[in-house]
Chains A and B, each alone.
Chain A
């Protein structure tokens, strides 16, 4: 069974009600746009990390964000996920949900998952426990105090373990995994939360060529069911997965389009690709 099938199956089983627990609130996507970012500016001590940035992510698309260091990619993710408050601007999830002013936890519960640049997992706990905690369930205090793992939840964890290739490592401490495996575990933690929008920051950093290929396959298979935004430096990787690429430069969008459009855009060549050659 290819990984694509595994993921498809996992997604289907989820939709057929394997996990009856919580439903993400209805998101109004009547205009096909899942995420609106408009006129966003963030500055740190006078340095403009984001400068009047506009970005629209359609429902179900796989979008790649590229840009040199300091272009504002991670800051953008911080704003979307509630970690950083912008000076000015709007961020809407669907037509109606204003993300600004919500906490990280509230935004996560709306169905926005995030993978950090540096793989961040619960190192002192087993791979299994990491997935258990990330699962889409009620995250309130009383329900975690009395939570029992149901057979369907166990199945779901087991499927995700298959997908991320850590089935045989499920008892290991997450801290004992290799760098690439941690990246995968973190992606697994995203998957198991069944997010509507996945923000993935440098997913293939530190991965072998083979692992990179599998990651590309996984992310591509997820698009459609979910919306995926990937930040990546690895141009080869971006080329292999991207349909639409957005180039950030000094906190604003410099260009947007297919990979070949972007590569041929003179402004991009000058400020970004030009530097590489």
Chain B
């Protein structure tokens, strides 16, 4: 029985699961990058910069799906508002990119972004101060969604709001933010959002190599987030969280302050979503209030459901597959996509409650299907 100690170490799961995932992720992303940078455009193996950017976007979605899986798959908190954290992260990055434009904007104002000049604003609002520094943007990217998630989570979990009520509140959160960001007076560019970005840390966002670098950066961040989440979820903390999902009362009565665990996990997940948003914006070149749309957040939940909850890699696979399908589908038959998405969700819920990974996953615990090694006698 002493071998069980190894199974209960976080590193065990990391050693078991991470190598395959990392090999596939880095294999594909490095291959695609190399094909873009070093092959001539007429080669059949050439990967266009458009495809690279598209893949980079998928990886950001995958990170967002990972964030949702952490709270929903492991802790049963169905957040239908994670798009809010994603968009907030995106806005912090967008603000930095706006300040980077400097006097190259249409109106040529060295300080004020174009939309502020257009609105006849005389000076920069206070919350835009410091965003010409990259580190301020990074700090804001972590703090703003983190604090919002903390306050929201603290109020909701303290009052023991759970289930559909919590889901509705998360929808309301993202909807309220969307309405707020649509207003010009908010100072975030109203319904046009932030766009026309020129460069990031001095590198031209339009160049192929920067696009590839952003794509590889997304892959790297996704890999780090996956490994960190795996470590957290295979620690005792992770088992407490799963316990809270399955029998919260039991967890309380054996002495865990479950609301603290939920708040902590919610904040962690929100920060992951914000990082995804911040990586997304320089690649797609725009952030607008549409990202706060409740529908977006629901889509993320569908990705996770399709891939399979509570496995981390399932959420990532789901996000990649559904978004690839969306790209293909909307090119051919754009009006029908939402119907297809809805049908997919219903189909998965009814026929594959464990998602696609449920097709492959052994229902037993990981150490059950290993060969008996005679440790039973101990």
Contacts and interface: CB of A to CB of B under 8 A. Distances in A.
A103 B2 CA distance: 35
B202 interface: no
Contact of A149 (B8, B232, B251, B258): B8
A145 B247 contact: no
A141 B9 contact: no
Contact of A139 (B9, B246, B250, B257): B257
A121 B249 CA distance: 10
A177 interface: no
A189 B254 CA distance: 8
A115 B246 CA distance: 16
Contact of A133 (B1, B5, B240): B240
Contacts of B243: 122, 125, 133
Contacts of B260: 141
Nearest to B252: A104
Nearest to B363: A173
A93 interface: no
Given A124-B246, A129-B239, A171 B253 contact: no
Interface string A126-160: 10110011100001010011111101001000100
A187 B358 CA distance: 33
Given A139-B256, A141-B260, A154-B5, A124 B242 contact: yes
B252 A170 contact: no
A83 to B, nearest CB: 8
Contacts of A120: 247, 249-250
Contacts of B235: 144-147
Contact of B2 (A108, A109, A125, A154): A154
Given A147-B235, A148-B9, A108 B252 contact: yes
Contacts of B2: 151, 154
B339 to A, nearest CB: 34
A171 B368 contact: yes
Residue among A83, A121, A124 with the highest chain B CB neighbour number at 10 A: A124
Contacts of B255: 105, 108-109, 139, 193
B250 to A, nearest CB: 5
A133 B367 contact: no
Contacts, number: 103
Given A105-B255, A139-B255, A121 B1 contact: no
A123 interface: yes
B4 interface: yes
A144 B256 CA distance: 10
B229 to A, nearest CB: 12
B253 A108 contact: yes
Nearest to B263: A141
Interface in A193-213: 193
A100 B256 CA distance: 18
Given A104-B253, A154-B2, A122 B242 contact: yes
A67 interface: no
Given A145-B235, A145-B237, A149-B8, A81 B253 contact: yes
Contacts of B24: none
Residue among B9, B236, B242, B260 with the highest chain A CB neighbour number at 10 A: B236
A128 B368 CA distance: 13
Interface size class of A (residues with CB under 8 A): 35 or more
A141 B268 CA distance: 13
A246 B246 CA distance: 34
B337 interface: no
B264 interface: yes
A143 to B, nearest CB: 8
Nearest to A124: B246
B237 A144 contact: yes
A171 B5 contact: no
A121 B247 contact: yes
A103 to B, nearest CB: 7
A116 interface: yes
B341 to A, nearest CB: 29
A114 interface: yes
A113 interface: yes
Contacts of A83: 249
Residue among A103, A105, A109 with the highest chain B CB neighbour number at 10 A: A105
A104 B160 CA distance: 13
A89 to B, nearest CB: 21
A122 B250 contact: yes
A116 B249 contact: yes
Residue among A81, A170, A171 with the highest chain B CB neighbour number at 10 A: A171
A114 B254 CA distance: 8
Contacts of B1: 154, 158, 170
Interface in A60-108: 81, 83, 103-106, 108
B239 A133 contact: yes
Given A125-B242, A173-B365, A193-B255, A132 B8 contact: yes
20 contacts: A103-B252, A108-B254, A116-B249, A122-B246, A122-B247, A122-B251, A123-B247, A124-B246, A125-B242, A129-B239, A133-B239, A139-B254, A144-B237, A144-B240, A145-B235, A149-B5, A149-B8, A151-B2, A154-B1, A154-B5
